[in-house]
Structure 1
Amino acid sequence: MRDGSGATAQLAEWVHGMQTATLDAAVAHQVSRLVLDCLGAAIAGSATEVAGAVRDLVAGMYPGDHASVIGGGRASAAGAALANGTAAHALDIDDGYTPGSVHPSAPAVPAVLAAAQHTGAPAETVLRAVAAAVEVTCRVARSAHPATREAGFHNTALAGVLGAAAGVSVVLGLDRAEVASALGVAGSHSGGLFEFLGSGAEVKRLHAGKAARDGLLSAHFARLGVTGPATVLEGTNGYFRAFAGGAWRPGALLDGLGEHWALRDTYVKVHACCRHLHGAIDALLDLRAEHDLSGVTAVRVETYAIAAGHAHTTFDSHLDAQMSLPYAVAVTLLDGKAGLAQFDAAHRASPAVAELAALVEVVAEAGLDARYPAERPARVTVHRAGRPPLCREVGQPRGEPSRPLDDDELTAKFRLLADPVVGPHRAARIAAAVWAFDDVTAVLGELADQQEGKTR
């Protein structure tokens, strides 16, 4: 129904049907990729200070034996979802979905896995539940983006709680009315402001965790008879009116549901920073591979407006560095990469990084802005002393469906993130178990053990 009438009910009907749906091989394979990438991000992220703080809180306020906390024993399902969702987003190396500018797996996968551990759900149910959770997150986010972002909201927290509620509804086997209520309750948990940008505030890391926790609780509330509005998305006082000023596209939410999977169009991150920075990084890496970039006197980055908003040159904190285009340009020029190490304290304090970052001009260019959010384009011009300028444009960063990582490359990324934390042998076992996907929740038991080292 293209006018949006009954949008929540139609979405709930589809989520309910996912309890018995048969996924085609391509979708099932993509779910394995999503889970592996999310676990890699969570394992590495669990070694950060913010993830440790959340684990400490969970140990005291969410005690229990329902589910595994990565690096922190066991807790209630809600506590595990909070801790693992936060860890998955703690390093900003988790997956995303460009049309919705959202990180779908960080809230979705931890919620589903915690619920599955709690209930003993079989692998086929976990597969369907992750698919439902990620699909709902992507579709809800894309149907109102960029209006939600322009209003100051972070789509990962905003849409992620609805996706998490959908996935846990599949795990719990809720009936149609209960699924609608789960979405209705989740709508009242939506929220997450972008005010962290440029402030260094670590609350962004919590957005995925709180969405995972609140989505899980919303499904449990619905099972216990707590009702939510059946028009939570399209209603007069609903999600799209509140967060997007009513500017939403029903077709982006409902068209091709169950046939054309948004989850298959998610991207994998290859750089350890905000996705809006990746186009410029890739353009620089292309130039660096072909030319001598010594003696840089200025760098001009033209990009779409939202990305151009990441132009700050103060990066005392890890988050500020991950959100700064000038910083990303500087470390890429110096090191030829923008991995986890390039955002550490030593790089942030480096005079060479600061000197290069000061040479970077970031501007919004109308032609590039018109291509967003279908693309994340960037055009980089490097000026060098006594030599002609060099220019390179990238339409889509690496890791998008049009420039994908294959399974071997995805496994290599997982190992790069997981090996230093849990050790290479354990990391290899986890990767093999996720690819097999016969008892994916069993690997979480290993991750609850004390970890072997830290990434930062």
Structure 2
Amino acid sequence: MTATSTAPPLTVVQQLAQLAHRTRQSGLTADLREDVARRVLDFVGNSIAARDEPSARAVTALVREWGGPAEATAIGTGLRVPAPAAALVNGTLAHSLDFDDTHLPSVLHPSSSVLAAALAVAEAREADGGRLLDAAGVGIEIAVRLGMGGYDRDSGNSEFFERGQHATSICGAVGAAVAAAMLSGCDAELIGHAAGIAASMGAGLLEANRTGGTVKRVHCGWAAHAGVVAAGLARHGLTGPPTVVEGRFGFLHAFCGERANVDAVLTGLGEHWELPGIFFKPYPCNHFTHAGIDAALDLRGRGITADAIAEIELGVPTPVLRTIAEPAAAKARPESGYHAAFSGPYTVAAALLGGDGLGVGHADFTDAAARDETRLRLAARVRCVPDAHCDAIFPQQFPAVLRALLHDGSRHEIRVDANRGGPGNPLTSDELARKFRSNTLTALDDGTAAEVTRAALALAHGGDPKDLMTHTG
């Protein structure tokens, strides 16, 4: 009898690498490429808007010190720097205002890390728009699938988040590495090694959301930097463990313990894409605050003024309270505009009192706005509570209910189950274009803004990434 040998089953990272390799050869479908192109436009606008933030100044100063060859554009700086440095700057910018896209229920902001890495490597490697979008699309998909591996259905929450870990940067480093490796011409084996190397590099703690500090703004930049570096190390012979995702000491078990769900990473891989369902953000603040903003804008639209309100109750999913409601005193009087973006009471007050053409905008999150006593007096009237109906929906959506008691004794209740920007309540193309223009109003004239918009969307139809990046430096 002749013995027959069978190949061992592919590990998780090998299956992810196979998807990346197939896509590098065949390309994404036209609709997925168009989706990623829209995310590129959103990414660039968010990055330009943050060019003067302290986080931007810090990373720009650092990459100036580093020096090196002029490979890629650091957005808003006038600099061309090595690709890993450009990824660091641009990922930091994209996440600095908390205006970046969000995947549910993993609660990841995937584009900031992955697109920062992909754009840097595409520019350095002179890749065309199709290759850029294919690599970025797969990298984003892999990042959110790893995030789904840490989503615990029993608790209805991300185990990464439960442990204080920033899944965005942890999973984003791996997605960024895959995108960078694809654009560097790596085969499936090297793509797998790049992902395995990056799995040792992802990091990020969420304590700054609660009590202050600006380090969270650099998380996506560092993840993008790590991804570019990991792909380079794989090209030069460094290897990652084949069981890096599912192993006993692998990615998911190390970060999420017994609640890790390895199967979620692979379910429907290559057939069902999470990519098109990722939410665009209409407001430049923590996504958990958005439904409360929508409800407050609805209340305002009914002609109810802040002066008429005696008390406000903001009901949200229970896990959300830790981010936007606690510590209560700090959330009622945020220490800066950045911290105001993570406050349920403040954002409700901003929606009732401030706002721009999008509803709530950048002007509502300056340090001066956060110190405005009129807003703070209204924020002090907002009490945040858990809501059972919201718990049942979260985290497929980030719902909220706003209950207002007026001085005349009347009561108003507004529920928002599907916050704006996702499949249940999407932003139109015009709204996305208005968001981009709002982001770039002080940086680009009308003609340049229109050209950047055209160049970003043209990537889906063979456009050159250089045409886009020429106008963003």
TM-score normalised to structure 2 length: 0.91
Please say if 1:341 is aligned against 2:346: no
Name the % identity.
34
Other-structure match for 2:113? 107
Q: Which position in structure 1 is the counterpart of 2:328?
A: none
Look up the equivalent residue of 1:201 and give its one-letter code. G
Contact 1:302 1:365 in 2 (8 A): yes
Q: Show the 5 A alignment for 1:20-419.
A: 20-72=25-77, 73-145=79-151, 146-293=158-305, 294-309=307-322, 310-311=324-325, 312-336=331-355, 337-419=359-441
AA aligned to 2:262 is: P
Shift of 1:427: 1.2
**1:22 shift after superposition:** 2.9
CA shift at 1:62, angstroms? 4.3
Q: Which residue of 2 aligns with 1:441?
A: 466
Deviation at 1:178, TM superposition (A): 1.0
1:284-335 per-residue CA deviation (whole Å, 9 max, x = no partner) reads 1112212423421111111112221211223112221110101101111112
Give the drift of 1:200: 2.2
Q: CA deviation at 1:440?
A: 2.2
In the alignment, is the contact (CA less than 8 A) between 1:95 and 1:266 conserved in 2?
Answer: yes
Matches of 1:378 and 1:108 in 2, distance apart? 30
Give, in angstroms, the shift of residue 6 of structure 1.
Answer: 2.0
Distance in 1 (CA, whole Å) between partners of 2:143 and 2:333 is: 32
Q: Is the 8 A contact 1:47 1:421 kept in 2?
A: no
2:62 & 2:179 partners in 1: Cα distance?
A: 25
The SS at the match of 1:18 is helix
Structure 2 residue identity aligned to 1:263 = L
Helix, strand or coil at the partner of 2:413: strand
For the residues of structure 1 that align with 2:398 and 2:11, how far apart are their CA atoms? 32
Quote the RMSD (CA, aligned, Å).
1.5
Do the aligned partners of 1:299 and 1:361 also contact (CA within 8 Å) in 2? yes
- The amino acid across from 1:131 in the alignment is G
Aligned to 2:19: 14
What amino acid is the match of 1:160?
A: G
Is the Cα–Cα contact under 8 Å of residues 186 and 214 in structure 1 kept in the other structure?
Answer: yes
Q: Give 2:3's aligned residue.
A: none
The one-letter code matched in structure 2 to 1:107 is S
Residues 117-146 of structure 1: CA distance to partner in whole angstroms, max 9, x if unpaired?
111112221121111111111111122131
Alpha-carbon distance change, 371 to 5 in structure 1, aligned in 2, over 3 angstroms: farther
Q: Secondary structure at the match of 2:55?
A: helix
Partner residue, 2:155: none
Deviation (angstroms), 1:5: 7.6
Question: 1:225-268 CA deviation, whole Å, 9 max, x = no partner?
Answer: 00011111111011111111132333431122222211100111
**Displacement of 1:446:** 2.5
Is residue 116–residue 224 contact of structure 2 (8 Å, CA) maintained in 1?
yes
Q: Distance in 1 between matches of 2:471 and 2:273?
A: 32
One-letter code aligned to 2:48: I
* CA distance in structure 2 between the partners assigned to 1:368 and 1:253 by the alignment: 26
Which runs of 5 or more residues in structure 1 are unaligned?
A: 449-456
Equivalent-residue separation in structure 1 for 2:395 and 2:147 (angstroms): 12
Q: CA contact under 8 A between 2:110 and 2:168: conserved in structure 1?
A: yes
For 2:467 and 2:270, the matched residues in 1 are separated by 28
Question: In structure 2, what is the Cα distance between the partners aligned to 1:383 and 1:291?
Answer: 14
**CA–CA distance in 1 between the matches of 2:258 and 2:65?**
41
SS of the aligned residue for 1:94 comes to coil
Quick check: 1:96–1:266 contact (8 Å CA) kept in 2?
yes
Answer with 312-321 or 39-48: which moved more: 312-321
SS where residue 334 of structure 2 aligns? coil
Going from structure 1 to structure 2, the CA distance change for 1:360 and 1:121 (only over 3 Å counts) comes to same
Aligned to 1:426: 448
Native 8 Å contact 1:300 1:382 kept in 2:
yes
Letter in 2 for 1:318: G
Q: TM-score, normalised by structure 1?
A: 0.95
Q: Is the 8 A contact 2:27 2:130 kept in 1?
A: no
Aligned equivalents of 2:441, 2:376: Cα separation in 1:
31
1:88 Cα deviation from its structure 2 partner: 0.7
Structure 1: which amino acid aligns with 2:391? D
CA contact (8 A) 1:38 1:106 kept: yes
3-state secondary structure, aligned to 1:390: strand
The amino acid of 1:117's aligned partner reads E
How far apart in 2 are the matches of 1:62 and 1:162?
Answer: 26
Counterpart Cα distance in 1 of 2:439 and 2:81: 24
